[in-house]
Structure 1
Amino acid sequence: MELKQLRTFIMVAESGSLSRASDRLRLAQPALSRQIKLLEDEIGFELFVRSGRGMQLTEHGEALLGRVTGLVQQLDNSVEDVRSLATETTGHVVLGCIPTASHVVAGRIAIRVARELPLVSLRIVEGYAGHLIDWLHRGEVDVAVLYGPASDLHLRMSDVMFEELVLVSPADQSPDADELPVSALTELNLVLPSRPHGLRLVVEAAAAKAGIGINVKYEADSYRVLKEIVAAGLGHTILPLSAFYREQEDGLYRITRLNKPRISRHLVMALPASRIDTKATSAVRALVQEEILRMVESGEWRTIPV
């Protein structure tokens, strides 16, 4: 099995057709078809279903794509890292963020990378913790900011902060009090991510500690959709205060602190356990840590004591 065959396979899978892959790789279609056929012969299964709509992955093709994409990317990064040892930091880095953290810091990170690491290509992807953990294990993400604790996930972890979660309500349906006990949530229609996303598990654990059940009226695995549903007056959600620091003056939402118990989330930075970081990954990781610390010290990102 040759690396060229795997690169061709990945490109065809991502492009969805031989013609588009041919344009991107600048190789003739017959040459691409030959590489795919050699790979299928070696594996012993068809990897694509050919049709007028293009190239659709078979079940075996899906399985292979999930296993080799990260490995090929790691190899490319390693070669690039060796080339850059005696020069400026170069390479490609994929940074994963849970949506609430991405909303606060991702744009700032992109600006700093462009200014301080001009030869580094940065890709930022959003996902809930479960997705990010899977992408880290598959090698599709180099470093991620996500919910902890994650001591049993076989990842390299470092603490970032603890952050208080608050009740976010439509402006015209907000509670009268500045603070509410968690037990009061039983009377509200809630809008939360579906299980097993970290935010949902944290809220359910707090409700169980308060001895109540919660009424999740709507589920949305999109941070933007959560906010839109609340703004439309259809329910209340629970998010970190930092997730709304830009919108607090817009008048669409009302923030209420929760107590008995307080609800907090543990934010961590995670990297694959068995991979050596490239020079570019280490540089981006340090930059992310610096920027978050700067925001915490300035009060733009509120934390609570560990």
Structure 2
Amino acid sequence: MELKQLVALVTVGDTGSVTKAARLLHVVQPAVSRYIRALEDEVGVPLFERSRQGMTLTPAGEVLAGRARRALLELERARAEIRPDRHHIQGIVTIGLLESTVELVSAPLVEALGRRHPGIDLRLLSAFSGHLQQWLDDGAVDMSLLYNLASTPSISVTPLLREALWAVAPPEAELSGGDALTWARVSENRLVLPVVGHGLRTLIDQALRTAGVEPTIACQTNSMLVQKKLVAVGTGWSVLPAAGVAEDVAAGRLNGGPMADPEIFRTIVLALPRGGRVPPAVEVVAAEIVRVTRRLIENGAWPTASVVAEFD
């Protein structure tokens, strides 16, 4: 397999078109078609389904394209790391951020790294914890924020902070001045919750069982943005991490407060894969994530959060 063939495979897979791929790669269309045919001849199976609507990866094509993306990314990282520069740490670093932390963490992290380490090519991906852990295992991200996870044989975990979950209500809800809300009080309203199997939903269901209440569920979704929008228009109440709703509550788009009877917490950790050499760029980004989260806690921007460990 040649590098140009793998690049063609990924680009056609992303665009769904040989013509578009050729334009992006600055080569003629027949060349891209030759690269794809050569790959298919080598692996012995079709990599694309061809139709009038375009090119769609076959299951075999999806497998090879996924591997090709990782190989191309590793080559890109290697080029960035060995490019001569005596003054700056360089390299590509991909970080997984919990969806509920993006609004708080992304801007100060990008600003700090741009100021301290302008040679780092930073890439941010956001998802729920389960997806992020899979991406970490697969090598799609260099590190990730996860929650309620201990170290494993493949992942090294550093606890960063502990935060409470909040009851989240429409802006017109009459909440009592920041006092904690009981699960019985919250369950008087229809609830908009994460889907079953989601990590937050597991915590919520455990708390509901402890409180001995049976909620009426208006909707389940895998999107925190959808949860917040549905709460804002009065579809129901929800229970979300304070980090994910702090700006909305401060702006009056939502109302909210900590839970009680029982309280419910999550621990956010920084996870990196074990084994192998850790590039300098990854080391400095990991350290910067810790500094950023600590500053957010110290200045009160991360409600209810407290530092639980130092970063080594």
Normalising by structure 1, report the TM-score. 0.90
- Secondary structure of the residue aligned to 1:173 is coil
Question: Whole-Å Cα distance in 1 between the matches of residues 130 and 215 of structure 2?
Answer: 22
Shift of 1:231: 0.7
Count of matched residue pairs? 306
- Secondary structure of the residue aligned to 2:73 is helix
- Asked whether the 8 Å contact 2:294–2:307 carries over to 1, the reply is no
Change (3 A) 1:299 1:176: closer
For residue 120 of structure 2, what is the amino acid of its counterpart? Answer: V
For residue 241 of structure 1, what is the amino acid of its counterpart? Answer: A
- Asked whether the 8 Å contact 2:88–2:118 carries over to 1, the reply is no
Q: What residue is the counterpart of 1:189 in the other structure?
A: 190
Question: Whole-Å Cα distance in 1 between the matches of residues 225 and 36 of structure 2?
Answer: 40
- Asked whether the 8 Å contact 2:47–2:58 carries over to 1, the reply is yes
Question: Whole-Å Cα distance in 2 between the matches of residues 27 and 14 of structure 1?
Answer: 17
Alignment of 1:249-268 (within 5 A): 249-268=250-269
- Asked whether the 8 Å contact 1:148–1:268 carries over to 2, the reply is yes
Q: What residue is the counterpart of 1:229 in the other structure?
A: 230
For residue 181 of structure 1, what is the amino acid of its counterpart? Answer: T
Question: Whole-Å Cα distance in 2 between the matches of residues 158 and 84 of structure 1?
Answer: 32
Alignment of 1:205-220 (within 5 A): 205-220=206-221
Q: Name whichever of 277-286 and 197-206 sits farther off.
A: 277-286
- Secondary structure of the residue aligned to 2:272 is strand
Change (3 A) 1:151 1:105: same
Q: What residue is the counterpart of 2:296 in the other structure?
A: 295
Change (3 A) 1:42 1:195: farther
- Asked whether the 8 Å contact 1:69–1:139 carries over to 2, the reply is no
Q: Among the aligned pairs, what percent are the same residue?
A: 33
Shift of 1:176: 5.0
Structure 2: where are the runs of 5+ without partners? none
Change (3 A) 1:92 1:246: same
Alignment of 1:68-147 (within 5 A): 68-84=68-84, 86-147=86-147
Q: What residue is the counterpart of 2:55 in the other structure?
A: 55
Shift of 1:212: 3.4
Q: What residue is the counterpart of 2:162 in the other structure?
A: 162
- Asked whether the 8 Å contact 1:73–1:140 carries over to 2, the reply is no
For residue 141 of structure 2, what is the amino acid of its counterpart? Answer: V
- Asked whether the 8 Å contact 1:93–1:120 carries over to 2, the reply is yes
RMSD between aligned alpha carbons?
2.3
For residue 291 of structure 1, what is the amino acid of its counterpart? Answer: V
Q: What residue is the counterpart of 2:287 in the other structure?
A: 286
For residue 138 of structure 1, what is the amino acid of its counterpart? Answer: D
Q: What residue is the counterpart of 1:35 in the other structure?
A: 35
For residue 281 of structure 1, what is the amino acid of its counterpart? Answer: V
For residue 64 of structure 1, what is the amino acid of its counterpart? Answer: L
Shift of 1:211: 3.3
Deviations 1:77-117 (A, max 9, x none): 13421335755222222221111111111111122222222
Alignment of 1:144-155 (within 5 A): 144-152=144-152, 154-155=154-155
Structure 1: where are the runs of 5+ without partners? none
Deviations 1:9-65 (A, max 9, x none): 112211221122212222222222222222212222111112232211111112222
Question: Whole-Å Cα distance in 1 between the matches of residues 302 and 238 of structure 2?
Answer: 19
Question: Whole-Å Cα distance in 2 between the matches of residues 57 and 181 of structure 1?
Answer: 50
